Structure 1
Amino acid sequence: MDLELNEELRFHFDNEVEKYKRAGMREDAARRRARLVFGGHQQVKEDCQDARGISFLETTTQDVRYSLRAMRKNPGFFSIAALTLALGIGASIAVFSLVNTILLKPLPYPNANRVVMLWREGPLAGVGDMPWAPGEYSVLARAATAFQNLGAFKKDSFNLTGASSPELLEGVRASAGLFPALGVSPLLGRTFTAEEDQPGYDHVTVLSNRLWQSRFGGDTGIVGKIIDLNGYPYTVIGVMPKSFTFPNQDGIPPILDLPKETQLWVPLALPVAPKGANELGVIGQLKSNGTLGMVVQDMNVTERSLEEHIPQEKGWSSRVVLLTQQTVTDARRPLLLLLGAVSVVLLIACANVAGLTLNRSLGRRRELTLRGALGAGRSRLVRQLMTESLLLAFVGGIMGILFGEASLYLVKHFGPDSIPHLHETGLDLRLIGFALGITLITGLLFGLAPAVGATRMNMVEALKEGGQRSVGSATAPRIRNALLIAQVAMALVLVVASGLLVRTFYSMLRSDAGFDVARIVTFELPLPTSKYADTGRMAQLYQQVLLRLQSVPGVRSAGFASVVPMGGAPDGTVIRMPEHPTTKRSEQPYANYSFASPGYFATMGTPLLRGRDFSDADTLNSVPVVIISSSMAKKYFHGEDPVGKQVGVATTKIPVRTIIGVVANIKHASLREEPDPEMFVPYTQNEIKVWPSMQTMQFAVRSRTDQTAIAESVRQAVHAVDPDLPVAKFATLATLVDRSMTADRFSMLLVGSFGVLALILASIGMYGVISYSVMQRTPEIGVRIALGAQRTQIFVMILRQASRLAVSGIAIGLIAALGATRLMTRFLYGVQPADPITFAVVSLLLASVAFLACYVPARKAMKVDPMIALRYE
């Protein structure tokens, strides 16, 4: 390009010479006149290069080489700055990877953007996102026209028996339309046909990939083989891909009580006139030209059909949610909280590095002034400094990617299982693009202000002797102090948020859960319908197992219930109270409904507040009795003694029960929940027969010694009654409680880590600013000491300067925290967003950290030798 440019300029110059020669001028005169008109060859050449962008490339290359030399000459500064950026960028990359995988990455289904989930909305206040009843789904399947495929599903458990020990498998009963609605094909074999989704033809199953690998060794000839489920032979017709586990708990409300991971699917096989409770999840695939608006209109028409066929559906409605939104509902807010926290950390890192860069650029004023005096324009100097900043950001970005990968490794291994797709996080093109983008933005953020500030100086004064120390931009100290105040304020906001989450976790641990976790083991005992279809036989089996467990050496007590604490969500029902009748349907009382055995509350350590416990005398031939929770007594009996009063399920076909006792509230899902009203019925008095089911009970055993030592004895006691029954979900109650707190612990640890990181970065920034200020004021300090100032006065002066900055940052941070913490209300328990104790403690903590960060520079200022200091001038 340079050679071509020289030839082109020579061509134009020669043409100019020829023009003057034709006008009658001599050769030498023509050349002189052409040079005057055409201009200097090198000047014109540089102008052309600027127009073509060649000079920009050349000077940029020079700036990069100069920046690399500067990094080699001052490795300490660049190492600290790059490490600071790496921490901020790495944390941002780790959190964005979670956001990308969970919120932004599409579901692994071909038609995920056209798959919706349907819910029922009840007329009662707060009754929303309810599953569908079988009768409702039957009407929906006939009346809805906006769907290309429609599928329903519900959880079910299956006892797998055969050559090896019995095993409980968590599965799903799904209609034939479920797999087509998701657009997923099996790895081996096929899925259900419409004929197989009929009663009597439904003994086929599709296995999950993990079950196929773990139980059947990945046998490629598994299709067509017979396995025994719940005492019935089932034919394996397919195996799903490794990535397919739908439906499971990810993002689905706990009312459906889905498996943590689905291990197999069997046909739903609803009868022609289906009956039953609301327990079906429903998904639909929109037609190719369908929209959510069309679905909503179609559902309005379907509602009228539901009311015609099922009169009690009057007042109910449907809600449509995209599956991509449904599966991230519970994880969205914690991730947004983490994204906000890591953004604050990144801003603090940028402010920190900006302060360091500004201090360094002010120390280079003489160099920059000389460059300006030699002809470099302000834009050229800014570009040079910005090149250094971007190069530093690039190094920090590379280190940040490595740090982010290490952070993701820890998050994937120690993060809660409740976060969907957590183990799928990792580097991809979108994440690399985010890393490059955030690196560029970071470089601009921390580099622009110092670059502009460092070039605004009095060139004449800066060139004077000592000017590099005594003279500088008047705005530079203000920029530096503003950056420091911003760091302190942002750090306080983040540390306050961390403190509130720590106090929340502490409050959860100290809350009254209604049970005692000490030395309790729990397990689930599912009964196969082929062998235990009668509730009387179920009750007899449970009683025999309970007697066996109570006789095991080392067992203090044992009991069982429909659901033990942290073992799942209990069933619920509308109730009636003859002494407190309600006429409005919207005011009908509602309560959880569970079976329990005598001794269950004593085993769990749940206090009996009034009345008596169940006894063996409570049978089908005795007076129907019930025990209620204290929240139910408080809500529905308004301070009256409920013992002796009556309560029952909504239908008048079933007699009411007499309340014989009141127990403390029991938390079922989380220590942060507010317990709902709950009623417990003795398992020997199951008058409903069908719902709630007694097919599965959860046992609790309190031991006298280490609870893990009785595990084998418990299994032997169960198998002594029926050797084909699997002892499923065996765990200590303490483990179940700990699992229920993993999401809260995860948020607390991550936000707390960001808070600690912000505190460290802010303290480093304050130390750097005060240290540089002391260095700048060394001559002044020397003069003060020479004129008689005491060294303690110098110490106090420096601390006073630092305290003004710290107090300003803390004050601004408190105001910002008052607004920011209100957005955290959903994450808090037992503590208010504007908790005065947390705000006071964090303020004192930050003030103490600021004092420690300023103590060393202040001590250094005390030791200034006035003779040496005055030599600076």
Structure 2
Amino acid sequence: MKLIPRARSWFRSVSHDAQLQRDMDDELRFHVESYIEDLVKSGVSRQEATRRARIEFGSADAHKEAMRVSLGLRLWDELRSDVRYAVRMLKKSPSFTAIALLSLTLGIGANTTIFTLAKHLMIDRLNVPHPEQLRLMNWISPKHGAVHSIWGEWDKENGGNTSTSFSYPVYEYLRAHNHQLSDLFGFKNIGRANVTIDQAAEVVQADLVSGNFYSELGIAPQIGRVIDDADDKPGATPVAVISDGYWARRFGRSPAVLGKTITLNLTPVTIVGVNPKGFTGARQVQSSSDIYVPFSLQPQVAPNFRFGSLLTNTREWWMQIMARTKPGVNEEAARAELDIALKDAVRATMNPKKDEALPTLRVGDGSRGLNEAGRNFASPVYVLMALVGFVLLLACANLANLLLARTSARQREMSVRLAMGASRRRVLRQVLTESMMLSLLGGLGGLLLGYFGRLAIPHLVTNAWEEPMSAAPYDWKVFAFNLGLSLLTGILFGIAPAWQATRAEVNTSLKDSAQSTTRRRRGYGGKAVVGFQIALSTVLVLGSGIFLRTLVNLTSVDPGFETKNLVLFEMRLPQARYPVGKDLVLYRDLEQRLAAIPGVDSVGLSSVTLLAHSMSNDDFVPTGQKPEPGKETAADDNAVNDDFFKTMRIPILAGRAFNASDTETSQKVAIVNQALVKQFWPNENPIGKTFETSGSNDKKELFTIVGLCADTHYDDLRKEPPPTFFLSYRQASDISWGMTFEIKTRQSRAAITPMLREALRSVDRDLPLTDVRTQDEQIDGLLQQERLFATITGAFGVLALVLACIGIYGIMSYNVARRTNEIGIRLALGAKTQQVLAMVLREASWLAIVGVVVGLGAGLALVRLIRTMLYGMKPWDPVSIAIAAGLLLGVSLIAGYVPARRASKVEPMVALRHE
């Protein structure tokens, strides 16, 4: 019989077992009755015919059993029997079952939760038709390349720069010269944008998209229509498409949203459609922007750097480009064609210098979009997966130990089974069935725990004042992972007890002293499992100590400014209402109104928020110093107001701070930090020296240094303070990205927020107040990953200590019980109780020492793999090693003391009679 028909027949028999039994009974009855009738017709009496038929056919049950074997149902019958027996045995030990299920639920649930996160970040694809066809354009160039200004994602690679950002003129050139891939389409997340709906201001995430964005992705609207090529032309009616989430959150899913006019960065746009549920755009899988508008609106709704429209600007590389592959097209040929077009476009639009290298185009997988979150969180997620894997292994070791003791107590039962003809394979399967029952039930609990865990994770990895990313979907991949992990777990903790059950010596085990040999074997097996537990516990405790020490080291770093009583909020002004000049007027007006709030000591402004993973970097060429050929000189910069240094309590070490005399038309001045002086003017007084830096459209501007300030950490506590120069925001060439207000106040954040909102409404009611937080909260957000790891590993470390304590206590209690006779003899021969106590504790100590040594070796090897996540310490940190070793040895001695004391108090005569 072929496989598929046979499988179909087997499943039909299993699913209709009662009917199969009736059919077999009917068929046997038919044959028996036919045989009887034939004998009666030949002259045999019916009674004699019946007797002969019974002799001829034998037992009906034997025939039915043979028929079930021929149908392949014997294994199914045995499995059902094993499952029923396993359920009865688990019901008989409710405490054991509860402990086992709790351990497995926690272990499997933690792994399911982290896998769901990993899948969402690194496996899930964009929710579009055939995402595997999508290709994302990116480029790479040597360090001294033709591309100087990038708005968006970029990275270092092989000593050069790589990015997915392109200029709009380059996009148009590539689109016109593409003949291999489908039509190129573009998109750009412009970040936060101000929206006014029914006179209420708020902040949303907005994307710019090309007119063919939706058609090339194959996306149809939920209601209304999508953006098309007609919308992406100069002079077209401004339209927008909103996400399903924003439609539900802001408009209650009302169809009346179609045709509604809202203002996006003070530009009226009409909502013409709603994206389908689950569509997150082309940028990432984890979350969607709220509003999508065509590229043609960029000059009105997006920051334009005061350089005019980015649609005609050749200097700024800012948008992303994607395409789909075509059937039968060679991708390398398509890449080569576009690479030639890219180099031609750069030559035609940018006029690069002779020594500036042209970028090389690369075509990458676009099925997950830009996937910045996946790249940023890849290493932490791998570490988390390893940690929860260790926790599950620890739970498996603990359960294996419990099952070894449970199997040892059932050794006589197993021997009886073997004596009555059961095969060792059948006994093995019976014990493994119990393990599988536990692991599958624990897997169900873990599935439920993982479901709620996935809802909590977005809040754990997002700052309190930010919108969390969407929860990871619970799809078939999660269920498959959970099922596979549950089955593997059942094998891991069940194989040792199952193997022990099959090792029973029938004749020996059925005697009264049957347990001795088994106990000895179980003692060796139990010690090995407990040693493994201690080693795993050591790894987890060492890891928790290292991550905790890293967090402590980072929180102890002096940022270089005072963080107490500082309240922050950011503001980006719509340039349609606040062009060059008017933005300064509003900032000055708002600064004065904020300073007048009761309890406010001073107000600072800065173009870069300190310790927020944000930065601004520009050319820095000291006058009289000729840059080395091919070597770029640059420094971080920050445009600030006059009271910035006073508000942040950053000392001015020489010269002066900015003041009212530093105006838009006065001599351009700057303040530099110690790190910059050390790099460019070591052992010199920088006051009065001059330097050039790039201004608007790469125009060089000359600045005179008037002050020297102390070093401060700029964007990260892990890095040393970088060379930094500060400009007066009145003299900065570009503050269109917005400004951060730093308010030194004696009031709490909650108390001052309504006053801040009222001050903002008094200058412009269309400007929303968002992301109000303290500087301490900002730093907490900066250290969120380190804090998360310290918390999780700390919890795992405590759990590891508890499980190790239980394991040590269990094995020592078992060994004391096993050696009761020996202890009685020692006491009867004159041994002192202190000697017995020391003997038992020595055994526990050696077990702990071996486990700790192995665990430290494994832990130190693993810690080297995560050394980039550490700070202020070496991977072989002696403090963490000493704490981990001390805790495990201490817990082991404490856990072993109770059984040891019990052994030292045993009565010799009672012990000698004990078996």
Tell me whether 1:103 sits opposite 2:90 in the alignment.
no
Matched-pair contact (CA < 8 Å) for 1:454–1:476: no
Aligned equivalent of 2:905, options 849, 863, 866: 863
Match in the other structure for 1:517: 563
The CA distance in 1 between the partners of 2:164 and 2:653, in whole Å, is 33
Task: Please give the per-residue CA displacement for 1:824-857, whole angstroms capped at 9, x wherever unaligned.
Answer: 1232222322212111111111111212221222
Tell me whether 1:143 sits opposite 2:186 in the alignment.
no
Match in the other structure for 2:583: 538
Aligned equivalent of 2:498, options 429, 448, 451: 451
Matched-pair contact (CA < 8 Å) for 2:112–2:481: yes
Match in the other structure for 1:62: 81
1:131-530 mapped onto 2 (5 Å cutoff): 131-145=165-179, 146-155=181-190, 158-161=193-196, 163-201=198-236, 203-213=238-248, 215-216=250-251, 218-246=253-281, 261-268=289-296, 274-275=312-313, 277-289=315-327, 293-309=332-348, 310-312=350-352, 314-323=357-366, 324=368, 326-327=370-371, 328-416=374-462, 423-425=470-472, 427-468=474-515, 470-472=516-518, 475-530=521-576
Larger mean Cα displacement after TM superposition, 713-722 or 576-585: 713-722
Matched-pair contact (CA < 8 Å) for 1:248–1:261: no
Structure 1 residue 342, shift from structure 2 partner: 1.1
Matched-pair contact (CA < 8 Å) for 1:181–1:284: no
Secondary structure of the 1:127 match is strand
The CA distance in 2 between the partners of 1:810 and 1:438, in whole Å, is 28
The CA distance in 1 between the partners of 2:456 and 2:843, in whole Å, is 41
Structure 1 residue 495, shift from structure 2 partner: 1.9
Q: Supply the AA of the counterpart residue of 1:588.
A: E
The CA distance in 2 between the partners of 1:395 and 1:128, in whole Å, is 49
Aligned equivalent of 1:633, options 677, 680, 700: 677
Structure 1 residue 568, shift from structure 2 partner: 6.3
The CA distance in 2 between the partners of 1:802 and 1:336, in whole Å, is 34
Secondary structure of the 2:390 match is helix
Tell me whether 1:703 sits opposite 2:762 in the alignment.
no
Secondary structure of the 2:400 match is helix
Would the alpha carbon gap of residues 625 and 85 (structure 1) be closer, same or farther in structure 2, given more than 3 Å must change? same
Larger mean Cα displacement after TM superposition, 810-819 or 523-532: 523-532
Tell me whether 1:599 sits opposite 2:652 in the alignment.
no
Match in the other structure for 1:256: none
Secondary structure of the 1:842 match is helix
Aligned equivalent of 1:579, options 621, 624, 641: 624
Would the alpha carbon gap of residues 306 and 266 (structure 1) be closer, same or farther in structure 2, given more than 3 Å must change? closer
Structure 1 residue 43, shift from structure 2 partner: 8.4
Secondary structure of the 1:507 match is helix
The CA distance in 2 between the partners of 1:156 and 1:643, in whole Å, is 39
Secondary structure of the 2:620 match is strand
Would the alpha carbon gap of residues 771 and 719 (structure 1) be closer, same or farther in structure 2, given more than 3 Å must change? same
Task: Please give the per-residue CA displacement for 1:416-438, whole angstroms capped at 9, x wherever unaligned.
Answer: 36999954336433323322222
Matched-pair contact (CA < 8 Å) for 1:204–1:234: yes
Task: Please give the per-residue CA displacement for 1:427-459, whole angstroms capped at 9, x wherever unaligned.
Answer: 433323322222221121111222212322443
Matched-pair contact (CA < 8 Å) for 2:222–2:274: yes
Would the alpha carbon gap of residues 157 and 856 (structure 1) be closer, same or farther in structure 2, given more than 3 Å must change? closer
Matched-pair contact (CA < 8 Å) for 1:159–1:167: yes
The CA distance in 1 between the partners of 2:262 and 2:675, in whole Å, is 46
Matched-pair contact (CA < 8 Å) for 2:729–2:735: no
Matched-pair contact (CA < 8 Å) for 1:492–1:810: yes
The CA distance in 1 between the partners of 2:279 and 2:477, in whole Å, is 23
Task: Please give the per-residue CA displacement for 1:308-367, whole angstroms capped at 9, x wherever unaligned.
Answer: 213326343344443417412122222211111111111111111111111221222233
1:706-717 mapped onto 2 (5 Å cutoff): 706-717=748-759
Match in the other structure for 2:604: 559
Matched-pair contact (CA < 8 Å) for 2:611–2:714: yes
Normalised TM-score (structure 2)? 0.83
Match in the other structure for 1:588: 632
Q: Supply the AA of the counterpart residue of 1:177.
A: N
Would the alpha carbon gap of residues 421 and 380 (structure 1) be closer, same or farther in structure 2, given more than 3 Å must change? farther
Would the alpha carbon gap of residues 413 and 442 (structure 1) be closer, same or farther in structure 2, given more than 3 Å must change? same
Q: Supply the AA of the counterpart residue of 2:432.
A: M
Match in the other structure for 1:612: 656
Match in the other structure for 2:833: 791
Would the alpha carbon gap of residues 404 and 228 (structure 1) be closer, same or farther in structure 2, given more than 3 Å must change? closer
Matched-pair contact (CA < 8 Å) for 1:246–1:262: no
Secondary structure of the 1:614 match is coil
Structure 1 residue 752, shift from structure 2 partner: 2.8
Structure 1 residue 620, shift from structure 2 partner: 3.6
Task: Please give the per-residue CA displacement for 1:596-623, whole angstroms capped at 9, x wherever unaligned.
Answer: 1111122123333443211111124432
Cα RMSD (Å) of the superposition? 3.7
The CA distance in 2 between the partners of 1:657 and 1:140, in whole Å, is 40
The CA distance in 2 between the partners of 1:342 and 1:755, in whole Å, is 11
Would the alpha carbon gap of residues 460 and 144 (structure 1) be closer, same or farther in structure 2, given more than 3 Å must change? same
The CA distance in 2 between the partners of 1:779 and 1:650, in whole Å, is 89
Structure 1 residue 790, shift from structure 2 partner: 1.3
Matched-pair contact (CA < 8 Å) for 2:615–2:715: no
Q: Supply the AA of the counterpart residue of 2:337.
A: D
Would the alpha carbon gap of residues 118 and 788 (structure 1) be closer, same or farther in structure 2, given more than 3 Å must change? same
The CA distance in 2 between the partners of 1:260 and 1:738, in whole Å, is 26
Secondary structure of the 1:386 match is helix
Structure 1 residue 239, shift from structure 2 partner: 3.1
Secondary structure of the 2:256 match is coil
Tell me whether 1:729 sits opposite 2:771 in the alignment.
yes
Q: Supply the AA of the counterpart residue of 1:563.
A: V
1:13-28 mapped onto 2 (5 Å cutoff): none
Would the alpha carbon gap of residues 195 and 663 (structure 1) be closer, same or farther in structure 2, given more than 3 Å must change? farther
1:43-82 mapped onto 2 (5 Å cutoff): 53-82=72-101
Structure 1 residue 675, shift from structure 2 partner: 4.9
Would the alpha carbon gap of residues 613 and 261 (structure 1) be closer, same or farther in structure 2, given more than 3 Å must change? farther
Percent identical = 32
Q: Supply the AA of the counterpart residue of 1:303.
A: L
Would the alpha carbon gap of residues 632 and 779 (structure 1) be closer, same or farther in structure 2, given more than 3 Å must change? same
Would the alpha carbon gap of residues 623 and 673 (structure 1) be closer, same or farther in structure 2, given more than 3 Å must change? same
Secondary structure of the 2:855 match is helix
Matched-pair contact (CA < 8 Å) for 2:414–2:504: no
The CA distance in 1 between the partners of 2:467 and 2:133, in whole Å, is 20
Structure 1 residue 682, shift from structure 2 partner: 1.0
Matched-pair contact (CA < 8 Å) for 1:153–1:175: no
The CA distance in 2 between the partners of 1:676 and 1:127, in whole Å, is 20
The CA distance in 2 between the partners of 1:772 and 1:212, in whole Å, is 64
Larger mean Cα displacement after TM superposition, 757-766 or 807-816: 757-766
Task: Please give the per-residue CA displacement for 1:538-571, whole angstroms capped at 9, x wherever unaligned.
Answer: 3233223223333333211112111222556233
Tell me whether 1:643 sits opposite 2:662 in the alignment.
no
Structure 2 alignment gaps of length 5 or more: 1-19, 39-47, 144-158, 299-308
Would the alpha carbon gap of residues 269 and 263 (structure 1) be closer, same or farther in structure 2, given more than 3 Å must change? closer
Matched-pair contact (CA < 8 Å) for 1:546–1:558: yes
The CA distance in 2 between the partners of 1:75 and 1:762, in whole Å, is 22
Structure 1 residue 163, shift from structure 2 partner: 4.8
Match in the other structure for 2:887: 845
Secondary structure of the 2:316 match is coil
Normalised TM-score (structure 1)? 0.87
The CA distance in 1 between the partners of 2:495 and 2:905, in whole Å, is 36
Structure 1 alignment gaps of length 5 or more: 19-27, 252-258
Secondary structure of the 1:237 match is strand
Secondary structure of the 1:502 match is helix
Larger mean Cα displacement after TM superposition, 494-503 or 806-815: 494-503
Structure 1 residue 130, shift from structure 2 partner: 6.2
Match in the other structure for 2:305: none
